[in-house]
């Protein structure tokens, strides 16, 4: 399955999601990485059954211009409603508080984070995306979230000295599926065995029914 990965911004280098996704070693998925939103188009988005959004609302690492305009938001919503999958990881939740269509699709957005600190990720026992995932602690940006969708299926919580937050959830939109994972600032997080299991489970869950491995 071809997966479009939108990544890279001023605070989140593309090498982190590249390294984390490629480490999965899952031949079911082929990744096409797009690092500049100048290379994005609605037509290109529609060519992929599954999209990974791990890019804040900047065109690129050197251009902080917002890229998610109303046309972009509508393209994401249409993509999922027609049966596509969307996995948003860490920075894919940042800078989108004022993008109502995309925010609604995600089910919530990032608001702020304290300085990096030990963060404990605890999956919810019995959740469909929890197999192979055990609680773990990593140094990360502890994302504080506004979870808008009361029907979202909470996948995990994140806890640090600053409190507890929803750390991930799943939701459906039309015929498609959306998964949110808030950890992931550092490559050590992406490469942790439990986070690798989360990524693998999330990719497979978000994939359209006829393409799931």
pLDDT tens digits along 113-159: 999 999 999 999 999 999 999 999 999 999 999 999 999 999 999 99
Instruction: Indicate whether 210 pLDDT > 80.
Output: no
Mean pLDDT of 166-193: 98
* pTM confidence score: 0.97
CB contact at 8 A, 59 and 65? yes
Mean pLDDT of 207-213: 82
pLDDT tens digits along 68-77: 999 999 999 9
CB contact at 8 A, 3 and 50? yes
**How many structural domains is the chain composed of?**
1
User: How far apart, in Å, are the Cα atoms of 61 and each of 18, 99, 142, 185, 189?
Assistant: 15, 20, 22, 15, 21
Beta bridge partners of 109: 146
pLDDT tens digits along 194-205: 999 999 999 999
pLDDT value for 46: 86
CATH at 46: 3.40.50.880
Range of the domain at 23: 2-211
pLDDT tens digits along 19-68: 999 999 999 999 999 999 998 888 888 899 999 999 999 999 999 999 99
């Amino acid at each position: 399955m071809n997966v479009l990965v939108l990544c890279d911004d001023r605070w989140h280098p593309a090498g982190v999601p590249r390294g984390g996704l490629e480490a999965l070693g899952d031949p079911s998925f082929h990744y096409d990485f797009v690092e500049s939103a100048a290379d994005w188009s609605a037509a290109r988005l529609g060519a992929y059954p599954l999209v990974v959004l791990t890019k804040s609302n900047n065109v690129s690492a050197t251009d902080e211009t917002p890229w998610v305009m109303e046309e972009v938001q509508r393209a994401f919503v249409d993509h999922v409603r027609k049966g596509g999958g969307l996995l948003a990881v860490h920075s894919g939740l940042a800078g989108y508080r004022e993008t109502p269509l995309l925010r609604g699709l995600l089910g919530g957005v990032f608001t702020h984070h304290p300085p990096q600190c030990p963060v404990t990720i605890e999956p919810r026992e019995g959740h469909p995306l929890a197999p192979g995932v055990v609680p773990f602690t990593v140094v990360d940006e502890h994302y504080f979230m506004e979870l808008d969708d009361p029907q979202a299926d909470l996948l995990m919580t994140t806890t640090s000295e600053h409190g507890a937050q929803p750390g991930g959830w799943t939701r459906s939109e039309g015929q498609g599926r959306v998964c949110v994972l808030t950890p992931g600032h550092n490559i050590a997080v992406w490469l942790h065995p439990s986070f690798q299991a989360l990524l693998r489970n999330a990719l497979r869950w978000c994939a359209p029914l006829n393409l799931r491995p």
